Structure 1
Amino acid sequence: MALDVELFQGEDRQLVRTEPLIALLKPVFEAETAPFSGRPRFVLRLRNDPGPDTYQGDQTQLTNLRADFGYIHVAIHMEGRVVYQKPYSVNGLVGPVLARLARQIAPEERRWAFRIAGLPSPEDMPEGEESAQRLPPVVVGTDDIDTSRSTRLAFGIRPAAEPQIPLLDLAEHGVELTDTEAPVTVLLGAGVRRRLMEMELSTEIEEGGFLVGRAFRRADTPELHAVIVDEVLPAEHSGASLTHFTFTGDSFGAMNRTLGDRQLVGWYHTHLFQTERTIGLSRTDIDLHRDTFRRPWQVAALINLTSRRRILTCYASSDDWMAPCPIRNLDDDADKHRSAHPSLGHH
């Protein structure tokens, strides 16, 4: 089914232009199609996942009137194969194109709206055609405990003792740091980088899990930390969708059974499209990390998936924000003596 984009002008939303969606998007992907011969065939799949309802451009505000279909998966076929595919937010992909078109139509107008015509209403969606997701399992056999009433409970509750954190000399691992103020330096043990870069990951929903290893204080600056990641554990009993990943208590229970004498040094999850922020983590990601992974040395690893590569970036709590962490691969490879970098990726 061909989809059109309707553009509305002003507060009273007068329809001023209707354009085929594919025609609007083709110039956006010229760089992706240039290396190939022939005519590109676009396959667009809109997802019934609510997204942002407003795109804020330079002096132009666009309201998405069908924000219930907030995400779109773009696949480009050329030379008999898929040469590019990636999900986007509708606002992030269509918004800049429409903002330029709006300025051409009426440069003085600031308020615009758009909608993708021909989409079904939510109640008309066929059963089983909802957005891809994995619902977290229902937790049974649990109870809530009000710790503020602990003096009247039949048992006591007290904070667990903080683990003893040994010192680690990063120079012994060939690490030459240029960012000495990073709260945590991440060292990837044997096989961990390969695991993160090559493990099977969904392109339909976010995936995630735990980083297991050992935590240290830096010998050169003891108030800063370093972690060695020894193993990557995909989370069990988790929930996920295109835009969210959720741990459950059972996720942590399954992880604890394999933890042994190692430490939970952090967590990881994937993003299927680039965020519109200077930091890769979403607000939900930051809240999850600060509420759940409270040790100063625990890190949040983000794997950004694109059609051609994965990019790994790690973050740690720093004051009221999340700071990027240098990453060093400890595998015996050609870059053994390369300095730490804030991200790793492969093509």
Structure 2
Amino acid sequence: MALDIELFRGESRQLVRTEPLISLLKPAFAAETAPFKGSARFVLMLRNDPGPDTYEGDPHLTNLRADFGYIHVKIHMEGRVVHQKPYSVNSLVGPILARLARELAPEERRWAFRIAGLPSPEDDDSAQRLPPVVDGTDDIDTSRSTRLAFGIRPAAEPQIPLLDLTEYGVELTDTEAPVTVLLGAGVRRRLMEMELSTEIEEGGFLVGRAFRRADIPELHAVIVDEVLPAEHSGASLMHFTFTGDSFGAMNRTLGDRQLVGWYHTHLFQTERTIGLSRTDIDLHRDTFRRPWQVAALINLTSRRRVLTCYASSDDWMAPCPIRNLDDDADKHRSTHPSLGHH
């Protein structure tokens, strides 16, 4: 099925241009196709996973079908696949459409676009790792706990100690984010250099210690001491899933430390806006409910990794500043919203 891009101008969203998506994309992949002879055959697969609904470029572009937020591009030349990688729709077509919009009407500041002729989001050929089948489960109605042979009651919340961030080289003017993330010895290197798949998402747990900030006790800080890849997980090109066995295996190694968050990969470049998908946000809010637990995202491409952390903030996921404690703590360096090679 052919995919077209429709470009709309102004607040009235007047349709001004319809172009085949592939014809727009071919120039963007000139470097990937240049070493090969013959014509390129593009295979495009859109994923029904919501992405950012705006491209914050010049000019501003609104994606009217942000529910299909990601696209996998596969290029065939000389009888073989010469390039394949997932992208967010905005990062891939945003710069192309912004340039076209400037050519059509440089004075217009508001534009919108959508991909017409969307295929089914199902892709049976995509790489995936199914989560293992869980055996021996049962549902417990907690409302009947008084009539059960055992009791169920909420566990008492442990006391969260205070932490003076200035002792770790953090300037307090840097952040009023809900959580400040401090990476312990070797953790940044582990995240930046650990072996990760380039075909399916990977993920795991962040283990360490949670604190309240001494200067603003209602805000938190975490020190990440260890990174634990998840066992018994499910994964595909666009999704990562924990299971109960994933948490069981993690708990056996937790000891007196705390589960301060989780991490997973995205196999495309980072967005200027929030990089977590709607699925990621739902997973975090349903599973990692402590206010100091963070979601770490590693945007993974062939040449770089970018680490960004997020924490729950009202009805949103706010970026967290990151301080690498392997740096010289005597020099009060600023925290950063992300680490890695941009």
TM-score normalised by structure 1 residue count: 0.73
Deviation at 1:177, TM superposition (A): 3.2
Q: Distance in 2 between matches of 1:287 and 1:109?
A: 37
Q: For each residue in 1:108-147, what CA deviation from the matched residue of structure 2 results, as whole angstroms up to 9, or x when unmatched?
A: 99999999999999999xxxx6211111111001111111
Contact 2:52/2:274, CA 8 A, preserved across alignment: no
Deviation at 1:327, TM superposition (A): 0.4
Q: Distance in 2 between matches of 1:38 and 1:336?
A: 56
In the other structure, the counterpart of 2:85 is 86
Q: Which moved more, 1:243-252 or 1:101-110?
A: 101-110
Cα separation, partners in 2 of 1:313 and 1:38, compared to 1, 3 Å: farther
In the other structure, the counterpart of 1:203 is 198
SS at structure 1 position matched to 2:253: helix
Structure 1: runs of 5 or more not aligned: none
Contact 2:7/2:114, CA 8 A, preserved across alignment: yes
In the other structure, the counterpart of 1:66 is 65
SS at structure 1 position matched to 2:207: strand
Q: Distance in 1 between matches of 2:337 and 2:153?
A: 37
The alignment-based identity, stated in percent, is 92
Q: Distance in 2 between matches of 1:123 and 1:304?
A: 23
Deviation at 1:314, TM superposition (A): 0.8
Q: Distance in 2 between matches of 1:72 and 1:252?
A: 31
Q: Distance in 2 between matches of 1:137 and 1:174?
A: 43
Cα separation, partners in 2 of 1:277 and 1:145, compared to 1, 3 Å: farther
Deviation at 1:50, TM superposition (A): 11
Deviation at 1:217, TM superposition (A): 1.3
Deviation at 1:28, TM superposition (A): 3.0
Contact 1:177/1:340, CA 8 A, preserved across alignment: no
Cα separation, partners in 2 of 1:159 and 1:102, compared to 1, 3 Å: same
Q: Which moved more, 1:336-345 or 1:82-91?
A: 82-91
Contact 1:316/1:322, CA 8 A, preserved across alignment: yes
Structure 2: runs of 5 or more not aligned: none
Cα separation, partners in 2 of 1:272 and 1:337, compared to 1, 3 Å: same
1:291 to 277, 280, 286: 286
Q: Distance in 2 between matches of 1:5 and 1:69?
A: 13
Contact 1:64/1:91, CA 8 A, preserved across alignment: yes
Q: Distance in 2 between matches of 1:53 and 1:337?
A: 37
Deviation at 1:106, TM superposition (A): 13
Deviation at 1:23, TM superposition (A): 3.8
Deviation at 1:306, TM superposition (A): 2.7
Deviation at 1:27, TM superposition (A): 3.0
Contact 1:48/1:130, CA 8 A, preserved across alignment: no
Deviation at 1:36, TM superposition (A): 13
Contact 1:235/1:255, CA 8 A, preserved across alignment: yes
Q: Distance in 1 between matches of 2:332 and 2:12?
A: 62
Q: For each residue in 1:251-288, what CA deviation from the matched residue of structure 2 results, as whole angstroms up to 9, or x when unmatched?
A: 00000001011100001111123577821112221121
Deviation at 1:330, TM superposition (A): 0.5
Deviation at 1:51, TM superposition (A): 9.7
Deviation at 1:343, TM superposition (A): 1.0
Cα separation, partners in 2 of 1:275 and 1:147, compared to 1, 3 Å: farther
TM-align CA RMSD: 5.7
Cα separation, partners in 2 of 1:13 and 1:265, compared to 1, 3 Å: closer
TM-score normalised by structure 2 residue count: 0.74
Q: For each residue in 1:186-220, what CA deviation from the matched residue of structure 2 results, as whole angstroms up to 9, or x when unmatched?
A: 00001100011111112211111100001111122
Cα separation, partners in 2 of 1:93 and 1:173, compared to 1, 3 Å: closer
Q: Distance in 2 between matches of 1:119 and 1:222?
A: 49
Contact 2:300/2:306, CA 8 A, preserved across alignment: yes
Deviation at 1:107, TM superposition (A): 14
Cα separation, partners in 2 of 1:38 and 1:193, compared to 1, 3 Å: farther
Cα separation, partners in 2 of 1:189 and 1:95, compared to 1, 3 Å: closer
Contact 2:174/2:334, CA 8 A, preserved across alignment: no
Q: For each residue in 1:205-252, what CA deviation from the matched residue of structure 2 results, as whole angstroms up to 9, or x when unmatched?
A: 111110000111112222211111000001111111122111110000
Q: For each residue in 1:290-344, what CA deviation from the matched residue of structure 2 results, as whole angstroms up to 9, or x when unmatched?
A: 1111111111111112333111111111122211111000014699642111111
SS at structure 1 position matched to 2:37: coil
